[in-house]
Structure 1
């Protein structure tokens, strides 16, 4: 099946990121398996407190310093001053019930060794849990138009799409104000588009990806991504400073979210689950006017 690039805009997949543990560092990859819940193993694990409530960089910025590595049968976690933690990808220890935002979901506890590792590094009682793949946690159907779009421990949707041009515009504004440029890693996207204009991702409906002989992959953008203080946290140091959020507030108030500050678009998987996304794949989309 041939890919038709004739659309209002066209570009490529410039970068891909997977975040195995919610709110810990991401992994940049050249290719990733697309599943109905997003990129394979994206937000498959989550850190929770003693009551099972999810923990993020919002309250614990040191989580940014926890760096995962995915291997064939295990995930290896490293953090400053800590021995590496090896977590089996296909093994869990005990059932658990956890909360992520307003959702209470079944999960699997990863055991005492992992719990102690996170407790030691983050300085408070923690557990590491794995999403239960038999459970369907659905994205808000108010935004998906009634389409059932499952995700794991992401904030609310399977895939986050951003663009290099959007990041460049922010960095141009930062440097013009005398600040240093920052990396797109702060915004935690899964798919970064190249060759499109700044914030074109805001203005499209269906992002079509050239899947080659297997056919097109369709990612439908459904909701602007409202931004919390996490982009102010330097992922290399876990230090927070306000210039990113301050700069965004000057030009990114979004009427679709009652003036919330947004950057990037949440998307759902409409076609192509089971196929590979790869850096360099062609993308095309038509502009939406609403």
Structure 2
């Protein structure tokens, strides 16, 4: 049976994710705590994995209940920051680490997601397993950390999520919360890098595109994809379903419009 297998959010944009057993859909249509914080330079540009591979050097853990962010550097330095009451101290530390003046901003209604008019990213466990099999250097958990989806669905076929974008695509529900597919997710440079070391897989994009084309589902709408360097989908939760709670283990059902 199709079910919600994993809820993963990324409290500080560009840094490590955390797994949740349950999370609310915010009024803005995103998952609570996802990209809730972000580091910005003085020009207003965000600091993330696309901008610098230095983000992979940090091991971070955020506790939503306390607002505490634990950070460990490659040389073993450990710091803890209270993002509820003192983001300035954290911003100063990150500024020194990344060698650029940064502020740490917060958005609790939507988060600093890339596509602010859209909602959660969705992928299947089978898709992650398939992509990991394409690369000797990649594990399933490594694929999960490279691709950084919010919602992972188990009990379905590889590339199950592709069916929800394109002409006449159905919607799906998780525990009664409706999700409409909006667009496939075109990938950036981040998936080619080891999430711990930043070490790139050589010719990652070439191999990925070749494999993706060879395994592209015949039932998916190819016209919905600009290119084969795309994986997972970005969805939208209708306003009527926002404010509800998603829980790991919730059943997943396809819904025709």
TM-score normalised to structure 2 length? 0.82
* Ranges of 4+ aligned residues in structure 1 off by more than 4 Å: none
- Flag the 1:66–1:122 CA change in 2: closer, same or farther, 3 A: farther
1:206 aligns with 2:171: yes
Deviation at 1:172? Answer: 2.2
Structure 1 residue 243: deviation in Å? 5.2
1:78 pairs, out of 71, 83, 100, with 71
**Is the aligned partner of 1:172 residue 2:148?**
no
Match of 2:100 in 1: 124
2:113 corresponds in structure 1 to 154
Structure 1 position 132, deviation (Å) = 6.9
Conservation of the 8 A alpha-carbon contact between 1:170 and 1:247: no
TM-score, normalised to structure 1's length? Answer: 0.73
- Residues of 1 paired with 2:152 and 2:181: CA distance? 13
Q: Is this contact kept in 1: 2:53–2:198, CA < 8 A?
A: yes
Contact 2:134 2:211 in 1 (8 A): no
TM-superposed deviation, 1:279: 1.3
Alignment match, 1:230: 190
Unaligned runs of 5+ in 2: 165-169, 214-221
Residues in 2 aligned to 1:71 and 1:43: alpha-carbon distance in whole angstroms: 12
User: How many residues in Structure 1 have an aligned counterpart in Structure 2?
Assistant: 235
Aligned partner of residue 114 in structure 1, secondary structure: helix
Q: How does 1:86-125 map to 2 (within 5 A)?
A: 86-89=81-84, 91=85, 110-111=87-88, 113-125=89-101
Please identify which structure carries the higher strand content: 1
Match of 2:23 in 1: 32
